[in-house]
């Protein structure tokens, strides 16, 4: 397994919609393992393929510290809200270091997709797992959580990003 480089804000791949996965083979299983290792190394609870430069519709998650046993990968995810209740929760992103802001998400979602072997998976998630499903699927659609912020919070976040050392280093 390999820890991959996490792409940072400003990289065009983060604004690219990922393609459906059509081949469920050992390479996809290895990719999921690499993504889990990369996510763990970076200290995250979720990671989408385009965050490591690949435009494939797969994300990994590990909410096991918060919700028992929820760790794995979802390929070709599609989610829908269960009810209309939303919640404001602090959200960050491995591709946007040191920025964590209140972000509104649906409280409960139903997600369907496949595992890395092509088997159908479906689950109803709430709390951190629901937030993770929405955040990572957004990545696969080329959407960053900054786009989910209020205009004022987005403006503040952009100022912080422009002043960050990691963003300045990327521009050099």
Q: Among residues 67, 64, 102, 66, which one has the least CA distance to residue 86?
A: 102
The confidence score (pLDDT) of residue 65 equals: 74
The answer, yes or no, to whether residue 172 has pLDDT greater than 70, is: no
The confidence score (pLDDT) of residue 1 equals: 74
The answer, yes or no, to whether residue 36 has pLDDT greater than 80, is: yes
The answer, yes or no, to whether residue 66 has pLDDT greater than 70, is: no
What Å distances lie between residue 10 and 48, 51, 84, 156, 171, CA to CA? 16, 11, 33, 17, 9
The confidence score (pLDDT) of residue 69 equals: 62
The answer, yes or no, to whether residue 48 has pLDDT greater than 90, is: yes
Per-residue pLDDT of 117-162, as tens digits, reads 999 999 999 999 999 999 999 999 999 999 999 999 999 999 999 9
The confidence score (pLDDT) of residue 68 equals: 61
- Catalytic residue, candidates 29, 37, 136, 156: 136
Query: How many CA atoms within 13 Å lie on the side-chain side of 148?
Result: 25
CB contact at 8 A, 55 and 68: no
156 is catalytic: no
The answer, yes or no, to whether residue 11 has pLDDT greater than 90, is: yes
Judging by beta carbons within 10 Å of its beta carbon (0-12, 13-18, 19+), is residue 165 exposed, middle or buried?
Answer: exposed
Average pLDDT estimate for 92-120: 97
Average pLDDT estimate for 80-105: 96
Average per-residue pLDDT for the chain = 95
């Amino acid at each position: 397994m390999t820890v991959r480089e996490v792409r940072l804000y400003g990289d065009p791949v983060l604004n690219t919609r990922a393609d459906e996965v059509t081949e469920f083979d050992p390479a996809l299983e290895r990719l999921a393992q690499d993504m889990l290792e990369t996510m763990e190394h970076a200290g995250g609870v979720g990671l989408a393929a385009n965050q490591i430069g690949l435009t494939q519709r797969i994300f990994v998650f590990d909410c096991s510290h918060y919700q028992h046993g929820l760790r794995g990968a979802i390929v070709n995810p599609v989610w829908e809200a269960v009810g209309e209740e939303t919640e404001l929760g602090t959200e960050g992103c491995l591709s946007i270091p040191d920025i964590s802001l209140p972000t509104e998400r649906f409280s409960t979602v139903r997600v369907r997709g496949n595992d890395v072997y092509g088997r159908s998976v479906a689950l109803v998630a709430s709390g951190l797992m629901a937030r993770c499903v929405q955040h990572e699927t957004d990545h696969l659609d080329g959407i960053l959580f900054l786009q989910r912020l209020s205009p004022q919070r987005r403006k503040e976040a952009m100022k912080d990003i422009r002043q960050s050392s990691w963003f300045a280093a990327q521009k050099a």
